[in-house]
Chain A
Amino acid sequence: MSSNYPSLFRSEEMSLVQLYIPSEVAHDTISELAEMGNFQFKDLNPSLTTFQRSFTPRLRALAESSRRLRLFRTQITSLSPPLGITPLSAVPPFTTVGPRAQNAYDELEGKLKEHERRLADMNRSWEELGKRKSELEEKRWVLRETAGFFNEAEHRHTEIRTSFDDGDGTAPLLEHAAEYGTLPGETGLSGFDLEFVSGTIERSRMPTFERILWRVLRGNLYMNYSEIEEPFVDPTSGKETHKDVFIIFAHGSDLLAKIRKVAESMGGTLYNIDSSQDKRSDALREVTARLEDVDTVLYNMGQTRRVELSKIAEMLEAWTDAVRREEEIFKTLNLLSYDQGRKTLVAEGWCPTRDITAIQLGLRRAMDTAGTSVPAILSELRTHQTPPTFHRTNKFTEGFQTLIDSYGIATYQEVNPGLYAVITFPFLFAVMFGDIGHGILMFMTAAAMIFWEKPIAKGGVNENLETFFFGRYLIVLMGIFSIYTGAMYNDIFSKTLHLFQSGWEWPSNSTGLVTAESTGHVYPFGMDPLWHGADNALIFNNSYKMKMSIILGVIHMTFAICLQVPNHLHFKKYMNIYAEFIPQMIFFHSIFGYLVICIIYKWSIDWAQSATGPPGLLNMLIYMFLSPGNVDPSVQLYRGQAFVQTLLLLLALVCVPWMLALKPYLLWKEHSKIKAQGYQGLNGQENGRHSTSEPLEEEEEEVGMAVAESTDDEHPFEMGDIIVHQVIHTIEFCLGCISNTASYLRLWALSLAHAQLSEVLWSMTLDLAFESESGIVVRGLFLFVMFAMWFGGTVGILCVMEGLSAFLHALRLHWVEANGKHYMAGGYPFMPLSFATLGNEED
């Protein structure tokens, strides 16, 4: 296919190309090539480690920059209220090429460093202030909560007093006590001669803390605690911790010291507070005032930080993009070999032959941007290395090609089954999924995805739905074909359409078991609707769908075997045509081709008028092997059947040694001919590489050129290997014919299951509602609920789950049954350097 246009039929013709790039344009040339995205660079210094390569220091600096950018990004995204990052399209472009690019990058590096320093400063003081703030807050809580304890204690104290002084019955004393109870000094102490420790501790540690204290102090303490409702947020990590305020009364400085120690070792914070209420309220006031100050400072600082970050956010995308590009460029430059003396870089790599002109133009463009007058020079190399496989896909074909690629990357220039999968895949899927209704649902969904393609792609898709979105064109075709096969099966949500004159009619006025009478017509398009609901519909459908799967399977596999031919012709292995293709075809068709012809022949005979009854084709095939040459006249399909079958069987038998022996023999003969001519030892030279740029090679052997030569693998002629390979291949094919044909019966099984399932769903939901005989309101409600269930089941079970299952089976039929017949899949993918795919890899 040397057409003017690229096609999916074969992978693109590739060329191994060498570029001589003067070092001053190197950067811009690589950038231009990555912009075009059709050049795959080869590593010309495979022996060098990363550290030995020339541009590693630069790369490290870039990595540092990209680390800074990531840091900024996390800080920006964690801001609340969120700060929008200006999209790339709205930012003035960053100079990534041209003579000023280097300066721009250096400036950027400085700028990033400066920003980082400023941010780090701010973050540090922010953190410190945050810590101060939380300390103050804790203290405030301690003051507030302990006030509660004290008040309670005091209250109790006065009560005791009252009971003591009850006899006096003097109110002033009571008032006095209440008044002086709060005073510092004598009254306070006389009220609580216990001393205390107060502070905060994490809530989870509270029980342990309590237990330890109890043990340490042997119960000589009075402890009180209360929970702080608000969690404390750590300013740096953002982690929330819940804390409790505790106050412990104990007697004696020893015990107090012990409590302090225990509290500190458990991670608690102690706050000194005074037992007098005045001092405490003073302290509270002071703390509140300080807290306010800290808050103001924090707020201001937050604002400054926000401004700083918003400045960064404006340019963040542009910078990230620029740094990413630069990194990619230098990674690529590291792959090139460097000629010190001539100040040129040598690049080598694959590109589509079709694109060489475009690349040459690109090289000139790069020269212009770099502002020099020496462009990079491109020279094409001739090589025996296998080029990478490159299929030019578009948004329509890419989904189909992915299905095939996930089985294996096509060998270079091999016939690509992806081209045919565009139709055969949705078709085989639809054979299993045939239902007009379900097909329409599927089609509509995919059509909507295609219609709103751009907004959906722009808005980003949920990860689970992304797969469906990626396969939207596949799904749309699957839907269309399902509608067609549904029309063939005459199934619409398990119901039927009656569009043409039926071939049957029910006899009038008869009840009980009725048999339809033929009207002499054949329903012209699809399955006769009269079969729907008939008691023996399943028997008829089984026979029809089973035969259909065999016929479709045999045709699909024949097609797959035939795809070998263009391969053999293209790779000039004509021997394979008569040593493999022809015997395979004969073998396959003498058994299964014959079966298909028998099926069709049997359909074309009107058995009502025939003397013999209709024969069972399955038995016919079995007895063709078991007792060749004998056909029972009562089940004879046609005259001379015994002879034909014996002949076919013999043909198939002959094919086995034909496939087995011919190819190894021919290879051996060819080899011994070469040997006889005395070329054996020179095999290597004979296949040697002749470079178009041989004089160059002599001049600079160390540069690049040598690499093209080095990966030179010569297989010695091994008769044993060839024979073993051929034996395996033959056995695989012969057994595969049988098992693969049987494998197509999944078309029957799945389509039957699909039809049955949708019928069951209908009868278990909507049918019940239609037949219910209650009042109109109840019926309406019942219908509504049942419809919801039916629709949910239709979408969830029949469309999604059954769809997935049919999808997998169709995929298997393509991978195993069809691809196994012709697809070598021994290639490796073409992975050009491209800025366009950069972002995707990162995410």
Chain B
Amino acid sequence: MSSFFHVVLVGIIIAAMGAVGWFVLPKGKSQTLLRSSLLLTLTCCYLMWAITYLAQLHPIISPRRSDLRAEY
């Protein structure tokens, strides 16, 4: 189910979004700004997500708590 493959897949989707955005964004004074901002935003958000996802992929420790009530 969950595997390293997901991270790659989402990465490809994000890259595709970036590529589309690169060409779709209108020409004009702020084209460079918009392009760089779009790519950086996608990269940053993807990185953050991927790291969080990977960190939980094969957890070495499991959550533990001692204050659970019986009915929970």
Q: Mark out the residues of chain A between 1 and 45 whose CB falls within 8 Å of any chain B CB in the assembled complex.
A: 1, 3, 5-9
A515-B64, A518-B62, A539-B61 given; A506·B72 CB < 8 A: yes
In angstroms, how far is the closest chain A Cβ from the Cβ of B43?
8
Contact in complex: A423, B37 (CB < 8 Å): yes
Q: Evaluate contact between A3 and B32: CB separation under 8 angstroms.
A: yes
Question: Within the assembled complex, what's the spacing in Å between the Cα atoms of A420 and B40?
Answer: 8
> Residues of A contacting B52 with CB < 8 Å?
488, 526-527, 544, 548
Determine the distance from Cα of A683 to Cα of B44 in the docked complex, in whole angstroms: 49
Asked whether any CB of chain A lies closer than 8 Å to the CB of B20, the reply is no
Say yes or no: B63 contacts A536, CB within 8 Å: yes
Q: Which A residues from 587 to 607 make CB contacts under 8 A with B? A: 600, 603-607
**CB distance B47 to A552 under 8 Å?**
yes
Pick the contact of B53: A431, A504, A524 (CB < 8 A): A524
Tell me, yes or no, whether A315 is within 8 Å of chain B by CB. Answer: no
- Are the CB atoms of B51 and A534 closer together than 8 Å? no
Contact B63 A523 (CB under 8 A): no
B58 touches A514 (CB 8 A): no
Contact: A551 with B51, CB < 8 Å? yes
B53 near A522: Cβ-Cβ < 8 Å:
yes
User: Contact: A5 with B27, CB < 8 Å?
Assistant: yes
Give Cα A460–Cα B41 distance, bound, in whole angstroms: 33
- Report the separation of the CA atoms of residues A506 and B27 in the bound assembly, to the nearest whole angstrom: 54
- 8 Å CB contact of A419 from B1, B27, B33, B59: B33
0/1 string, A607-646, CB within 8 A of B gives 1: 1100000100000000000000000000000000000000
Q: Contact partner of A513 among B36, B59, B64, CB < 8 A?
A: B64
- B48 at the A interface (CB under 8 A): yes
Query: Considering the complex, which residues of chain A in the window 448-490 have a beta carbon less than 8 Å from any beta carbon of chain B?
Result: 481, 484-485, 488
Name the residue of chain B whose CB is nearest to the CB of A605: B58
User: Does the CB pair A515–B63 fall under 8 Å?
Assistant: yes
A392 vs chain B, min Cβ distance (A): 8
Q: Collect the chain B residues with CB atoms within 8 Å of residue A547's CB.
A: 51, 55
Q: Which residues of chain A come closer than 8 Å to B68, judged between CB atoms? A: 506, 510-511, 514
* Given A509-B70, A514-B65, A535-B66, residue A604 in contact with residue B58 (CB < 8 A): yes
Contacts A431-B48, A536-B61 given; indicate if A420 touches B36 (C-beta within 8 A): yes
What is the CA–CA distance of A608 and B29 in the complex, to the nearest angstrom? 54
Whether the Cβ atoms of A9 and B32 lie closer than 8 Å is yes
Q: Which of B28, B56, B65 contacts A5 (CB 8 A)?
A: B28
Q: How large is the interface on A (under 10, 10 to 19, 20 to 34, 35 or more residues)?
A: 35 or more
Report the separation of the CA atoms of residues A524 and B63 in the bound assembly, to the nearest whole angstrom.
17
Determine if B12 is an interface residue (Cβ-Cβ < 8 Å): no
B18 to chain A, nearest CB (A): 13
Q: Separation in Å of the B7 CB from the closest CB of chain A?
A: 9
B25 cross-chain contacts in A, Cβ below 8 A: none
B72 to chain A, nearest CB (A): 6
Contact A517:B62 (CB < 8 A) given known A511-B68, A526-B52: yes
Give the distance in Å from the alpha carbon of A394 to the alpha carbon of B28 in the complex. 14
> Do A604 and B61 contact each other (CB < 8 Å), given the known contacts A420-B40, A514-B66, A551-B47?
no
| Nearest opposing residue in chain B for A10, CB measure | B32
Residues from chain A with a CB closer than 8 A to the CB of B30 are: 394
Known contacts A5-B31, A423-B41; A521/B58 CB under 8 A: no
Cβ of B58 and Cβ of A555 under 8 Å apart? no
Q: Which residues 717-753 of A sit at the B interface, judged by CB distance below 8 A?
A: none
Contact of A534 among B49, B60, B65 (CB under 8 A): B65
A637 CB → nearest B CB, Å: 14
A540 an interface residue at 8 Å Cβ cutoff? Answer: yes
Instruction: Determine the chain B residues whose CB is within 8 A of the CB of A431 once the complex forms.
Output: 48
Interface hub of B49, B52, B55, B66 (most chain A Cβ within 10 A): B52
Which A residues touch B4, using CB under 8 A? 604
CB-CB under 8 A from A607, the residues of chain B are 58, 60
- A649 CB within 8 Å of chain B: no
CA distance A139 to B14 in the complex (A): 90
Partner of A522, one of B2, B31, B40, B67: B2
Contact A536 B64 (CB under 8 A): yes
Point out the residue from B59, B65, B69 that lies within 8 Å of A540, measured CB to CB. B59
Contact check, B56 vs A527: say whether CB atoms are below 8 A apart: yes
Tell me whether A6 and B48 are in contact in the complex, defined as CB-CB below 8 angstroms, given that A514-B66, A517-B62, A521-B2 are known contacts.
no
Q: Are A516 and B2 in contact (CB under 8 A)?
A: no
Alpha-carbon gap, A504 to B4, bound state (A) = 19
- Residue from A423, A488, A533 within 8 A of B48 (CB atoms): A488
- The yes or no answer to B17 lying at the interface (CB within 8 A) is no
B62 A516 Cβ-Cβ under 8 A: yes
Residue of A nearest to B70 (CB): A511
A6 and B62 contact, Cβ closer than 8 Å, known pairs A488-B49, A528-B56, A544-B55 = no
**Contacting residues, chain B, for A534 (C-beta < 8 A):** 63-65
* Separation of A525 and B6 alpha carbons in the complex (Å): 12
A531 adjacent to chain B (CB < 8 Å)? yes
Closest Cβ neighbor of A434 among chain B residues:
B48
A503 within 8 A of B: yes
Give the Cβ gap from A749 to chain B, nearest Cβ, in Å: 17
Give the CA-CA distance A506 to B37 in the complex, in Å.
42
Please report the C-alpha to C-alpha distance between residue A408 and residue B37 in the assembled complex, in whole angstroms. 22
Chain A residues lying within 8 Å of B36, measured Cβ to Cβ, are 9, 419-420, 422-423
Chain B residues, CB < 8 A from A167: none
B65 neighbours in A (Cβ, 8 Å): 506, 513-514, 533-535
**Would you list which residues of chain A between 555 and 602 have a CB under 8 Å from chain B?**
555, 600
CB distance from B28 to the nearest CB of A (A): 6
Q: A539 contacts which chain B residues (CB < 8 A)?
A: 61
Measured in the bound complex, the distance between the Cα atoms of B52 and A526 in whole Å is 6
Whether A397 sits at the interface, judged by CB under 8 Å, is yes
Is B19's CB within 8 Å of the partner chain A?
Answer: no
The interface residues of chain B lying within 8 Å CB-to-CB of A608 are: 58
B28 surroundings in chain A (CB, below 8 A): 5
Asked whether any CB of chain A lies closer than 8 Å to the CB of B16, the reply is no
Measured between beta carbons, the chain B residues less than 8 angstroms from A548 are 48, 51-52, 55
Q: Does B57 contact A (CB under 8 A)?
A: yes
| Binary contact readout A532-546 vs B (1 if CB under 8 angstroms, 0 otherwise) | 011111011001100
A506-B68, A522-B53 given; A7·B48 CB < 8 A: no
Alpha-carbon separation in the docked complex, A510 to B68 (Å):
8
Q: Does B45 contact A (CB under 8 A)?
A: yes
Does B13 reach chain A (CB closer than 8 Å)?
A: no
A775 at the interface (CB under 8 A from B): no
Chain B residues near A830 (CB, 8 Å)? none
Task: Judge whether B31 and A7 touch: CB under 8 Å.
Answer: yes
Task: Tell which of A514, A528, A530 has the most Cβ of chain B within 10 Å.
Answer: A514
Residues of A within 8 A of B27 (CB): 5
Which chain B positions have C-beta within 8 A of A504?
62-63
Least CB distance, A228 to chain B, in whole angstroms = 70
A512: Cβ under 8 A from any B Cβ = yes
Contact A525 B49 (CB under 8 A): yes
Tell me the smallest distance from the CB of B62 to a CB of chain A, in Å.
5
Separation of A190 and B55 alpha carbons in the complex (Å): 111
Q: Check A427 for interface membership: any CB of B closer than 8 A.
A: yes
A-chain residues with CB within 8 Å of residue B61 when the two chains form the complex: 536, 539-540
CA distance A549 to B46 in the complex (A): 15
Chain B contacts for A481, CB-based, 8 A: 44
The reply to whether the CB of A226 lies closer than 8 angstroms to some CB of chain B is no
Q: CA A514 – CA B70 in complex, angstroms?
A: 11
Give 27 CB contacts A-B under 8 Å: A3-B31, A5-B31, A7-B29, A394-B30, A419-B33, A423-B41, A504-B62, A506-B68, A506-B72, A512-B66, A513-B66, A514-B68, A515-B63, A515-B64, A516-B62, A518-B62, A522-B56, A526-B49, A530-B63, A531-B63, A533-B67, A536-B64, A539-B61, A540-B59, A547-B51, A548-B52, A604-B57
A sample of 12 more A-B contacts (CB under 8 A), given A511-B68, A523-B56, is A5-B27, A422-B40, A427-B44, A504-B63, A522-B57, A527-B52, A530-B63, A534-B63, A537-B63, A539-B61, A552-B48, A604-B58
Closest 7 CB pairs of A and B: A534-B63, A7-B32, A423-B40, A522-B2, A603-B54, A427-B44, A606-B58
